[in-house]
Structure 1
Amino acid sequence: MTEQMYQLVSIVVYMIAMLLIGWYAFKRTSNLTDYMLGGRSLGPAVTALSAGASDMSGWLLMGLPGAIYLSGLGEAWIAIGLTLGAYLNWLYVAPRLRAYTQVSNNSITIPSFLDNRLKDTSRLLRVASGIIILVFFTFYVSSGMVAGGKFFQSSFGLEYHTGLIIVSVVVLAYTLFGGFLAVSYTDFVQGLIMFLALILVPAFGIFITGGFSETAASIREVDSALFNLVSGVSVVTIISSLAWGLGYFGQPHIIVRFMAIKSVKETKSARRIGIGWMILSLFGAIATALIGIAYFQQNNVDLADPETVFIVLGQIIFHPLIAGIMLAAVLAAIMSTISSQLIVTSSALIEDLYKAVFKTNATDSHYVFLGRLAVLVVTIIAMILAWPNKESVLKLVSFAWAGFGGAFGPIILLSLYWRKLTAKGALFGMIIGAVTVGVWGSIDVLHDALYEIVPGFALCLIVAVLVSKATYKRDTVIEREYDDTLELLKEEM
């Protein structure tokens, strides 16, 4: 059996496993809450790893190692910002959001929570937030599909569109039938695969480069500045990189996991597992890049594409069957994010737009059917956008992250920690945040000067507070729910 055939076997086994998990989840999905939120039944480990896997995508195994390989530890500031942001998100958002969404009419999506929390009778807030999710995530899903097509093109020599179709069909199958449970369970498995791969490659790689001292010496021969966190990095660049952490507070596909965990109490265990997974995975990605620099220096070889350093090292170190698992880890990172975004987009279409606009009272089975139809439609649209294989689609990942962070981040924090936030304050803040990110991110001079999430987040926060102060009227129902949430937190924490 050829090396490529061994690797293909690993990929096929992985994909079959994902489909089987999807089938298992399908058998456990009976109503809309099951399909959109898994019946609030996730354990801490599944919650933590599914949140991490849906967050990191191919950036963890390809983007970050490639950046470190090219420029050294100066590129690690984004990883530091993301780790800090993720920790604060687990600490301050997870327990309150789990409790508040339960108290406030058992909300199962972010827009429905904001609608219920702020008692918006106009439904404008819910519709606006649903539209923001729909627009950003359609392009976000598309960028993941582009990455999947390129993965099969570079790894197996398949035509780009063939790889695109394979990834799209498999993700569509388990997401469409199994819903949120399938996405969470597959993300958990994918998170484990990613974690093991990122630990194994540097752990074994250090031996082929001669140990720690020999590896460090080889890296210094290439450029001693590669070990310097601040070499060639400006203060503004550091601020922009750290600001990626602000995005966590507003990412619907991540914070929806907080709403799905079994209880508030289990968010503490989930936080420890999730942050532990994240720190070790990021460390593994950075170590992989540094070992790659040493290996290719020692063997006097130029790596054609720095973003493939993880894949190439895996193929060098391990038997082709194990190297195939390394490839599956990259595919897992891509697919886990696509599936998470698909289910959130589906919920935005059905729960937050269709039900809000048409105000129908159909059966749960009807809404589940519409949810699956929405997954299919969004997948097809995303595939159409991904079909031309334009690099610009991938650039929308950072843009979409900033969009969600700037539009939703401050609103989520204020809704959980400030009694006087109003529906109008949230609506105007959200719109200003999204528009600011859109304008700032589309002007190269501004984007290059400062990451658009910073002005977007700041202006959203300021506008939301000012408008809320101008429009605040005491509401006894809102006050009671806020107090009930605090009581629930005391009881369960």
Structure 2
Amino acid sequence: MEGKQERPRAAEAGAAGPKGQEVGIMVIKIALLILFFAVTVGVGLYCRRHTANVGDFVLGGRNVGPWVTAFAYGTSYFSAVIFVGYAGQFGWAYGVSATWIGLGNALIGSLLAWVMLGRRTRIMTKHFESATMPDFFAKRYQCPPLKIVVSVIIFIFLVPYSASVYKGLSGLFSMAFGVDFRFCMIGMAVLTAIYVMAGGYMAAALNDLIQGVIMLIGIAAVVMTTLSSQGGLLSAMIGMSQIENTADPAFQGAYASFFGPDPVGLLSVVILTSLGTWGLPQMVHKFYTIKNEKAIKTGTVISTVFALIVAGGSYFHGSFGRLFVQPAADGTVAFDDIVPTMIQGNLSDLLIGVVVILVLSASMSTLSSLVIASSSTFTLDFLKPLFKQKMNGKEQVRTIRLLCGLFVLISVIIALRPNSLITSLMSLSWGTLAGCFLGPFIFGLFWKKTTAAGVWAGLICGIGINVSNLFLTFTTPTSAGALSMILSLLIVPLISLVTPKLPRNFVEESFACYDEKVMAAHRMVLNEDEDQ
């Protein structure tokens, strides 16, 4: 009898083993999450002591070093929208050629953006003492109404982008921890609001540095694990080459080809996600804050390498989605579920926890930049002119903090809608903002003949194309965004050529900030110890 009694006990111990292991892994994942939250909030509370005025809260005192600025730029660029939404959907659509999107993000969205815009943005915005894009437009083009209109556009159209980040984050988070995605979304919103409202730009930037390191490690681990599950890169490529191209039966092996089954569609995504950064307020804002000339050069290299690893790795990983996910019976695919399915099927529970922290890091950094960009512009450029006599420095900081909370709340409400697709939300936001501001911002920095009328034409073009496509649907959201950006670069100079020019003395004085005349004109160099 004793021997018979021992067997059930052994069986119970065997059953308890895997269960105990699961509990142990969950404890580790929760501990990692708590540590991440504690560091994030701690940085916010620490930076609160250094946000005495609006300049500190919005710009970090224009004294941010190259590593912090470069990581802030990169982590604001890439979030759960890229890693989950875009990598899944466009990896499915274009196969391995989707990697070109990541390369475009690195070379055009990071390298060229820093080279072309970094120095000029820092110098000219300092010349006009502008802390926001709306204020820069108003002063550069001597048109105060631009400040109000641009600030409203930014606040409205950054909300869908923020919502897309929450949506991409919550699905992966709920998969890893078994918690309803709505609670995940609300929890992330509260955390973002706490540290941004407490420490402002500097808190966001320092957290970006920490979160960026996590992203680099996590992306490398995910890519290697995914390829390993398919027997290596060569086996994975062979598998992709054997997938049937139902759209064009004559072009088989399309998903393993150099430019994929739809080169034109691929190009539109590259333009939207790469060139678009040149006109996004939350991205160019990073150049306002950088410390000096040396920091710009160093930041260019760091930002480009970061983008190559994170963006290139994300799209390369997503490009193998067809090896792991099968369409439903009606041929449809839940694009937002592709990357979570790949991760869940290939990674250990512990590594899934690491990936969740990766996506959390990417998303929190992007959200913080969106929150600060929208709330600061709306306060300084819309509310302040209306209540000029009642808004001193402390009132402005308090209002910005309150709007941070409101912005987060609205974003979560939109993200909770069941039918909101990540890529659609982001494409609407990114396409409209870049379509509105790309031409006006670039020509404002480089071309003396740009006029206020040209800027208004650019704004109308950006909103008109993207919003009308939202209701009429004459093309995809990504193509509409790319089209509006290209037209912005054409319409702004064309309208400027046939409309009244700005006063010549004002324009010459504005562009003189790039040169310091001593014995002869030479390029102005930002002092190494310049703090303002």
Provide TM-score, normalisation by structure 1: 0.89
- CA gap 1:393/1:65 in 2 versus in 1, 3 angstroms: closer
Q: Show CA shifts across 1:95-145 (max 9, x none).
A: 1001111111x211111111222232xx11111110110110122222322
* 1:337 equivalent in alignment to 2:371: no
* 1:56 equivalent in alignment to 2:78: yes
Cα distance in structure 1, aligned partners of 2:457 and 2:325: 53
Is 418-427 or 311-320 further displaced after alignment? Answer: 311-320
Cα distance in structure 2, aligned partners of 1:449 and 1:55: 17
* 1:419 equivalent in alignment to 2:448: yes
* 1:117 equivalent in alignment to 2:146: no
Partners of 1:405 and 1:457 within 8 A in 2 = no
* 1:140 equivalent in alignment to 2:168: no
**Among 161, 166, 183, the residue aligned to 1:162:** 183
Deviation, 1:377, is 1.9
- CA gap 1:24/1:315 in 2 versus in 1, 3 angstroms: farther
Partners of 1:434 and 1:456 within 8 A in 2 = no
- CA gap 1:293/1:351 in 2 versus in 1, 3 angstroms: same
Partners of 2:161 and 2:426 within 8 A in 1 = yes
SS at match of 1:484: helix
Aligned residue for 2:426?
397
Partners of 1:73 and 1:228 within 8 A in 2 = yes
**Among 102, 106, 111, the residue aligned to 2:126:** 102
Provide TM-score, normalisation by structure 2: 0.82
Cα distance in structure 1, aligned partners of 2:293 and 2:523: 7
- CA gap 1:341/1:449 in 2 versus in 1, 3 angstroms: closer
Is 398-407 or 280-289 further displaced after alignment? Answer: 280-289
* 1:12 equivalent in alignment to 2:34: yes
Is 248-257 or 151-160 further displaced after alignment? Answer: 151-160
- CA gap 1:475/1:451 in 2 versus in 1, 3 angstroms: same
Deviation, 1:2, is 3.9
- CA gap 1:13/1:358 in 2 versus in 1, 3 angstroms: same
* 1:247 equivalent in alignment to 2:276: yes
SS at match of 1:491: coil
Deviation, 1:401, is 0.7
Partners of 1:426 and 1:464 within 8 A in 2 = no
Deviation, 1:394, is 5.5
- Name the aligned partner's letter for residue 49 of structure 2: K
SS at match of 1:92: helix
Aligned residue for 2:108?
85
**Among 65, 73, 79, the residue aligned to 2:96:** 73
Deviation, 1:69, is 5.2
- CA gap 1:241/1:309 in 2 versus in 1, 3 angstroms: closer
Deviation, 1:323, is 3.2
Is 163-172 or 450-459 further displaced after alignment? Answer: 450-459
Aligned residue for 1:301?
none
Cα distance in structure 2, aligned partners of 1:374 and 1:162: 22
- Name the aligned partner's letter for residue 356 of structure 1: P
SS at match of 1:171: helix
Is 345-354 or 454-463 further displaced after alignment? Answer: 454-463
- Name the aligned partner's letter for residue 163 of structure 2: S
Partners of 2:66 and 2:296 within 8 A in 1 = yes
Cα distance in structure 2, aligned partners of 1:394 and 1:286: 14
**Among 288, 298, 310, the residue aligned to 1:269:** 298
SS at match of 1:62: helix
Aligned residue for 1:127?
148
SS at match of 2:474: helix
Which protein is richer in helix relative to its size? Answer: 1
- CA gap 1:439/1:204 in 2 versus in 1, 3 angstroms: closer
Q: Show CA shifts across 1:7-43 (max 9, x none).
A: 2222222122111111122122111001011111211
- CA gap 1:278/1:56 in 2 versus in 1, 3 angstroms: same
Cα distance in structure 1, aligned partners of 2:347 and 2:403: 41
Cα distance in structure 2, aligned partners of 1:346 and 1:225: 45
Aligned residue for 1:382?
411
Aligned residue for 1:36?
58
- Name the aligned partner's letter for residue 61 of structure 2: G
Aligned residue for 2:510?
481
Cα distance in structure 2, aligned partners of 1:390 and 1:238: 25
- Name the aligned partner's letter for residue 136 of structure 1: F
- Name the aligned partner's letter for residue 96 of structure 1: R
Partners of 1:292 and 1:309 within 8 A in 2 = yes
Q: Show CA shifts across 1:426-447 (max 9, x none).
A: 2333233322332245432333
Cα distance in structure 1, aligned partners of 2:86 and 2:473: 23
Deviation, 1:387, is 3.3
* 1:180 equivalent in alignment to 2:180: no
SS at match of 2:131: coil
User: How many correspondences in the alignment?
Assistant: 483
- Name the aligned partner's letter for residue 490 of structure 1: M
SS at match of 1:462: helix
Partners of 2:214 and 2:358 within 8 A in 1 = yes
Structure 1: segments with no counterpart, 5+ residues: 298-303
Partners of 2:439 and 2:488 within 8 A in 1 = no
Root-mean-square deviation (CA, aligned residues, Å) is: 2.9
- CA gap 1:264/1:126 in 2 versus in 1, 3 angstroms: farther
Partners of 2:453 and 2:495 within 8 A in 1 = no
SS at match of 1:349: helix
- Name the aligned partner's letter for residue 26 of structure 1: R
Structure 2: segments with no counterpart, 5+ residues: 1-22, 245-252, 327-332, 517-521, 528-532
- CA gap 1:319/1:101 in 2 versus in 1, 3 angstroms: same
Q: Show CA shifts across 1:332-388 (max 9, x none).
A: 222222211111111111111012333337432221111111112222222333333
* 1:46 equivalent in alignment to 2:74: no
SS at match of 1:178: helix
Partners of 1:69 and 1:306 within 8 A in 2 = no
SS at match of 2:450: coil
Deviation, 1:215, is 4.2
